[in-house]
Structure 1
Amino acid sequence: CLSGFEHAHLSPVGRLDKASEGLLLFTNDTQFANALLDPETHVAKTYHVQIDRQADAALLETMTRGVIHDGDVLKARRVRQLRAGEKNAWLEIELDEGRNRHIRRMLETLGVECLRLVRVSIGGLPLGDLEKGAVRPLSETEVRNLRSLTRRR
């Protein structure tokens, strides 16, 4: 429930699967939503992903080069390791398109288990310290910045 918002018919821009968490935008402007989601605009979405193993250079390179899963080419625009523990690692993965369960399917193809997936940014708009379940309106500057990214390249 998005209590405290006056606008009727707010819809999510994109989706997060049931096992994922993080930043989700809502709008009543369907053209804006469609432009943010259009693969041709390449609006970046950044995720922090915990995996069940150490990440080596070969894994990171393969993720940027891409894999094929059920006929879809799944790749990341950019991948870097954030930190590593003894048995797992946190990666920052940037996508410029978002196929259904893109990161999970890519990792599955590589034999890597995704333990946690958090979307931390859309088009440079950060999740920041917004708590789980909390909502806030975007500033005019934030909306303007996102709109500038939706111009076809």
Structure 2
Amino acid sequence: MARVLSKLGHCSRAQGEALVRAGRVTLDGRVVRDPEHRTDPAQAAIAVDGAPIGARAPVHLMLNKPRGLVTTRDDPEGRPTVFSCLDGLDLPHVAPVGRLDKASEGLLLFTNDTAFADRLTDPARHLDKTYHVQIDRRPDDALLARFEAGIVDRGERLALKQARILRAGERTAWLEVVLDEGRNRQIRRVLAAFEIETLRLVRVAVGPLALGDLAKGAVRALTPAEVAALGG
């Protein structure tokens, strides 16, 4: 039942479990208290606090995430979250697709369309994600090749699919980095293996979808063509 509430875009799965256990959810007029109760939403009448729940229209959003926000709805440490950028918008329950860590910036997707999110995060798709990364040195071609060859960190092999110099000064450089897998802090860990500090990390594209000129902290809906291009 909790999974169905989440799939319908009413709430997160954890919130759904709490609603069910509190006796606030009914199925065909009868209270259900088992969050794992199997339910076919196409055949059943589901209500929360007496209000009927049905499938919500799919919502697909992109945010230009500012640095300093964590990618979660609620943070136990009280840190500001990406959901502060959605304040004041009339939205159903949406969730981020993947993550950007607190110090990272750029393109972050939100949706209530769980099938769409699953397709985007499916490791088998190897969907490219492009980043602009500022580092504390000027690399040469040999170093870029080592990034692409990869490292082993804590028993996990990590590599950058592509890395090239965008521009370079005497002491710093901006790289364009492409990943086709989503390991935790992958770019930062690869660079740290070579004692390179990541000064800024900005995701600028997910597959064919580019961040473009969307202002920092701003949100916009994806067009139907953009959703289709991402496999929606």
**TM-score over 0.5 (shorter chain):** yes
Aligned residues: 148
* Distance of 1:110 and 1:68 partners within structure 2: 12
Deviation per residue, 1:63-97 (Å, 9 max, x gap): 11111111111111111100001101000000001
Cα distance in structure 1, aligned partners of 2:189 and 2:218: 28
Distance 1:57 1:136 in 2: 38
* 2:197 alignment partner in structure 1: 113
Q: Distance in 1 between matches of 2:194 and 2:120?
A: 29
**Match for residue 18 of structure 1?**
102
- Corresponding residue for residue 54 of structure 1: 138
Could you list the runs of 5+ residues in structure 2 that have no partner in the other structure?
A: 1-83
Secondary structure at the counterpart of residue 231 of structure 2? helix
Alpha-carbon separation, structure 1, partners of 2:208 and 2:187: 19
Question: Percent of pairs identical after alignment?
Answer: 59
Q: Which has the higher contact order (CA 8 A, sep 6+)?
A: 1
Shift of residue 110, structure 1, vs aligned partner: 1.4
Letter in 2 for 1:68: V
What pairs up with 1:119-130 in 2 under 5 angstroms? 119-130=203-214
* Distance in 2 (alpha carbons) for counterparts of 1:28 and 1:6: 13
Question: Is residue 122 of structure 2 the alignment partner of residue 38 of structure 1?
Answer: yes
Deviations 1:116-143 (A, max 9, x none): 0000000121001111110000000000
Is 2:147 aligned against 1:63?
A: yes
**Match in the other structure for 2:113:** 29
**Equivalent position of 1:141 in the other structure:** 225
Tell me the TM-score normalized by structure 2: 0.62
CA distance, structure 1, for counterparts of residue 184 and residue 135 of structure 2: 19
Amino acid of the structure 2 residue aligned with 1:15: R
**Unpaired runs of at least 5, structure 1:** 149-153
Query: What residue is the counterpart of 1:95 in the other structure?
Result: 179
Q: Who is 1:151 aligned against?
A: none
